[in-house]
């Protein structure tokens, strides 16, 4: 038995094109729990998850408010709601005496991170250029063009530290399956104008990046990135596409992956494999049990040798 960190993609709770109803999210949480259950029984497990669609919806609901909640508070709300669904559905498929806990997780960011000077993460609804610039002037936003529309953008800084690392470790030592670092964690920083005072930050943290940091800090035996693809592909969507079975972290550097989809997942897996020497796996949710055994998905680790394909 070892420790495994499983990062669930946003599709774990909301499939592409599905309405964001509680019923849909609950059904998908149930499917995720059924796929995760074998791993939670065989290993000490931490489950992380995305929150992009959920926090985006909450941000939209806030836009008409005179006192809108900040992104860190919206992130905390989604951590609680999504964690509740995952925790409850896992409890419905795991043995009655298997403890499960959701940890509201804060992630430290650096206010001097270069990402704050060039926000790139689109959130919220679309506007015309005139509307977007009017909203930006009124609310202090940064807006950028997104295709033929304009949208608000926020920074996506590097995660520096998981504040709740020790409580997560204590729970794992007691055999608890832990749900943590949802949505990359609640973005938090130290106030530069006060000593040891934490403040929330208006930004978003990449979920895979934060999950990789948590997996490294926990010295996990496996880091699993579950997505809607069954492996990492070269020439995705083309007739000559091929799936990578295994590669070293340096071997993956030979290829370019889209920044908006597979790129962050590959980087997160590389960072974990380089730091720990252990295996990182990128696979579909349904394939997790087989992927951990090397039978499916893409495995990245230092001892992989030459890049192998299916």
pLDDT in tens, 172-182: 999 999 999 99
Q: Which region among 13-22, 74-83, 252-261 has the lowest average model confidence (pLDDT)?
A: 13-22
Closest CA to 212 of 75, 7, 1: 7
Same domain for 97 and 38: yes
> 187 with 261, same domain?
no
Spatial CA neighbour of 147 closest among 176, 174, 122: 122
Residue 145: inside a domain, yes or no? Answer: no
C-alpha 242/C-alpha 234 separation (Å) is 5
- Asked if 90 and 41 sit in the same domain, the reply is yes
**Do 86 and 11 share a structural domain?**
yes
Active site residue 174: no
Q: Which of 24, 91, 98, 121 is catalytic?
A: 121
* Tokens 């579950």 found at: 226
Q: Which string of DSSP letters, residue by residue, matches 140-204?
A: T-EEEEETTEEEEEE--PPP-EETTHHHHHHHHHTT-EEE--GGG-EEEEE-TTSTT-EEE-S--
CB atoms within 10 A of CB 245: 18
Q: Residue 171's pLDDT is what?
A: 98
28 in the same domain as 94? yes
pLDDT beyond 80 at 16 = no
Which range marks the domain in which residue 302 is found?
A: 225-309
Residue of 51, 124, 209, 265 marked active site:
265
Q: Which of 9, 10, 56, 183 does the annotation list as catalytic?
A: 10
Indicate whether 269 belongs to any domain.
Answer: yes
Is 121 tagged catalytic?
Answer: yes
Is there a catalytic annotation at residue 267? no
| Residue 10 a catalytic site member | yes
My answer on whether 302 and 190 are in the same domain is: no
Structural domain count of the chain: 2
pLDDT band at residue 308 using 50, 70 and 90 as cut-offs: very high
At residue 225, does pLDDT exceed 80? yes
- Which of the following is catalytic: 11, 28, 51, 278? 11
Residue in the block written with tokens 């990135």 = 225
What's the average model confidence in pLDDT over 247-267?
93
Q: Which of 175, 190, 220 is the last residue of a domain?
A: 220
The CATH number covering residue 58 comes to 3.40.1160.10
Average pLDDT estimate for 234-262? 92
Q: Which of 245, 222, 223, 250 is nearest to 232 (CA)?
A: 245
Tell me if 147 is assigned to some domain.
no
- 243, 179: one domain: no
- pLDDT of the residue at 180: 98
Instruction: Considering the candidates 207, 267, 296, 297, report the single residue annotated as catalytic.
Output: 207
Tell me if residue 207 is catalytic: yes
């Amino acid at each position: 038995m070892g420790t495994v960190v499983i990062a669930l993609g946003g599709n774990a709770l909301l499939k592409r094109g599905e309405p964001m109803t509680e019923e849909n999210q609950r059904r998908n949480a149930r499917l995720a729990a059924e796929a995760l259950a074998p791993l939670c029984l065989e290993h000490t497990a931490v489950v992380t998850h995305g929150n992009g669609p959920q926090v985006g919806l909450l941000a939209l609901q806030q836009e008409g408010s005179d006192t809108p909640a900040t992104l860190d508070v919206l992130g905390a709300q989604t951590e609680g709601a999504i964690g509740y669904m995952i925790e409850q559905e896992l409890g419905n498929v795991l043995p009655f005496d298997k403890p499960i806990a959701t940890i509201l997780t804060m992630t430290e960011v650096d206010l001097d991170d270069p990402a704050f000077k060039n926000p790139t993460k689109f959130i919220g609804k679309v506007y015309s250029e005139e509307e977007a610039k009017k909203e930006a002037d009124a609310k202090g936003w940064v807006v950028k063009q997104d295709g033929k529309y304009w949208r608000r953008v926020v920074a996506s800084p590097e995660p520096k530290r998981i504040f709740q690392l020790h409580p997560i470790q204590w729970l794992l030592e007691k055999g608890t399956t832990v749900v943590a670092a949802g949505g990359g964690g609640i973005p938090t920083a130290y106030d530069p104008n006060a000593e040891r005072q934490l403040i929330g930050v208006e930004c978003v943290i990449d979920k895979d990046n934060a999950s990789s940091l948590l997996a490294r800090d926990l010295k996990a035996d496996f880091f699993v990135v579950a997505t809607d693809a069954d492996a990492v592909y070269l020439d995705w969507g083309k007739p000559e596409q091929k799936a990578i079975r295994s590669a070293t972290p340096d071997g993956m550097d030979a290829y370019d992956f889209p920044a908006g989809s597979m790129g962050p997942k590959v980087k997160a897996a590389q960072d974990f494999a380089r730091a720990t020497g252990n295996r990182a796996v990128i696979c579909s949710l349904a394939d997790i049990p087989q992927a951990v055994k090397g039978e499916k998905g893409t495995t990245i680790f230092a001892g992989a040798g030459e890049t192998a394909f299916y």
